[in-house]
Amino acid sequence: MSDMQYTTKGGQIVSNRINTFGFEFEWDNISTGRLSRVLEEQGVENYIGGRYDNDYTRNKVTTDGSVPNGAELVSKIITNDTMPEIFRAVQGAKKAGAKITRKCGVHVHIGAGHLTDEQVGLAVDNWFAVQSAVNAMLSSSRLHNQYAKQLDARTVSRLVNCLNNGNTWGDRYNSLNAESLSEHGTFEFRGHQGTLNSTKALAWARFCEGFVNMAEDGIMLVDLIPLQGIRKYNAHTKDAKSLEECRTLLRWMTEAGYLTEANRNWLTVNKLGRN
């Protein structure tokens, strides 16, 4: 059970935990120059940079290899206080004529550099165990995406071995990327489809945040699954997503304090069965 508390700030429900966030939005049908200009008009300072410029104190507009006719926004490090900037950024992209295609995704980084190796392994185990529930909030095209692969037992075992031997993972193209920990001190959640809806992006980020906080608290979901009506994920079954299991997971996370009632309701109404 988490001792996480929530407060309301500027109409948004925020966690009292000191978590940091980062967003990578991929949009089609827009140039880096146009996106950069419109973001400035929205009050979102940014610079046009290369894909490997790593100044996370500023928002960067860059190209993305998977969206050749589009642009990517790599946000600066975001906190609860600066989260409203994401609303303005997404609004700006929409205003600029950006489009969402099957090529686009949203990557969310959650600060996790404070976790121990054991807690990192637990976060990955938890994500793997309930992927059928998580997948219910993702579009079908993302479930077999080469840049956001579903975890499997072999990958999870490999990660544990790497952690035990003090090595890095070596593969970032997974729905949950732990390789990002060594470079950025974050877990990167890569599975979500592209969006021009900032509320959707932020609700998803809060959901992902819950997995980092659960790991920090030592919660092992696999021990709770038989009691919660969620079957442990099996990558070889056709039932790769389950709406009912997702409702169960969202309900449990809310009752345990890892998700607000407002976010749970939004995700349940606006995400399940709509992807």
pLDDT of residue 209: 96
Tens digits of residue pLDDT in 151-163: 888 888 888 788 7
Q: Tell me the average pLDDT across 251-268.
A: 93
Q: Tell me the average pLDDT across 91-100.
A: 94
Tens digits of residue pLDDT in 217-237: 999 887 776 657 787 776 656
With both helix axes pointing from N to C terminus, report the angle between 153-164 and 117-129 in degrees, rounded to the nearest 10.
Answer: 180
Tens digits of residue pLDDT in 12-25: 444 567 799 999 99
Tell me the DSSP string of 186-218. EEEEEEEEP-S-HHHHHHHHHHHHHHHHHHHTT
Strand-strand pairing, 12-15 and 6-9? antiparallel
pTM over 0.75: yes
Sign for the pseudo-dihedral over CA of 39, 197, 249, 127: negative
Sign for the pseudo-dihedral over CA of 176, 253, 270, 132: positive
